[in-house]
Amino acid sequence: MKLHVLGSAAGGGFPQWNCNCRNCSGLRAGTLRARARTQSSVAIGEGDDWVLVNASPDILAQLRAAPFLQPARALRDTGIRAVMLVDAQIDHTTGLLMLREGRPLPLWTTRQVREDLSSGNPLLSVLEHYCGSRWHCIEPDGRPFEVDGLPGLEWRAVALSSAAPPYSPHRHAPEPGDNIGLFVSSRASGRSLFYAPGLGEIEPQVDALMQRADVILVDGTFWSDDEMIALGVSSKRAREIGHLPQSGPGGMIEALSRYPRARRILIHVNNTNPILDEDSDERLRLDAEGIEVAHDGLSIEF
């Protein structure tokens, strides 16, 4: 089985359209050793059958860059057998509208995410006027489930402490199911991976899955809790919007040291994060810890 990274950046992408921070301007000017990145999405599967996990606003460019997702068996075709969403945020959901020309989308989300996408951000209601969707409920209880057409994969979802989007009716009253992490195992190889692009805290049920995973792909949004405040681009702290920063006591680097057996990769990286600069001290620190930074096009076998 494979996980293919379609987009490795957080909301806004890298460079972000209106941003002239050191990273964004350095990338545009060609003075920074870094790669451009599109917004957060991965495809999991093999051959002609894939689950699109998160539908990024950059999906059309991502599909062009991943020809295996267009097997061309018919006049209208796709290798996307289902779409699964880990939350209802803009960067993970607005790409659904770009898939409107196809057949009804098999869509896997929690009850909470479906509710947000039918109320605060009524994407699913809009989609009903085009292809529509066939909803499958994800229970974030850690129990195994299977997606039609991909019998080789076993999925488990776990509720995460992170944050629902600003337009969610439960933005200020978090519910289990607003954000999930996915534990995916290949029945053939027995290998597994854990994917959680928005992760605010590693609670016991999350720790248990991370202990078992051969590959861990987790929240790489911010290096420091006050990163956006220090740069003067926002008043929000990383932890406040549901992202565990990498540095400092209790940060992601320290947390990942508990899983030395796994391949550990940061994903959903914000354009302000110094780890995007491949020559930065922060990136060298990750190298020394054996922690990778995902890039668009990265393919992982499991």
- Minimum Å gap between C-beta 58 and ligand MLT is 13
- Minimum Å gap between C-beta 178 and ligand MLT is 12
**Partner from Mn ion, ligand MLT, Zn ion, none contacting 271, C-beta within 5 to 8 A by type:** Zn ion
Q: Does 89 bind Mn ion (CB under 5 A)?
A: yes
- Minimum Å gap between C-beta 226 and Zn ion is 16
Residue nearest to ligand MLT (CB): 11
Is residue 265 a contact partner of residue 294, using CB atoms and an 8 Å limit?
yes
Find the part of the chain contacting Zn ion (CB under 5 A) among 64-72, 181-189, 264-272, 282-290: 264-272
- Minimum Å gap between C-beta 92 and Mn ion is 6
Q: Which is nearer to ligand MLT, 79 or 114 (CB)?
A: 114
- Minimum Å gap between C-beta 295 and ligand MLT is 18
Interface map 7-36 toward Zn ion (x if CB under 5 A): ---------x--x-x--x------------
Residues in the site for ligand MLT, rule: CB under 6 A? 10-11, 89-91, 198, 241
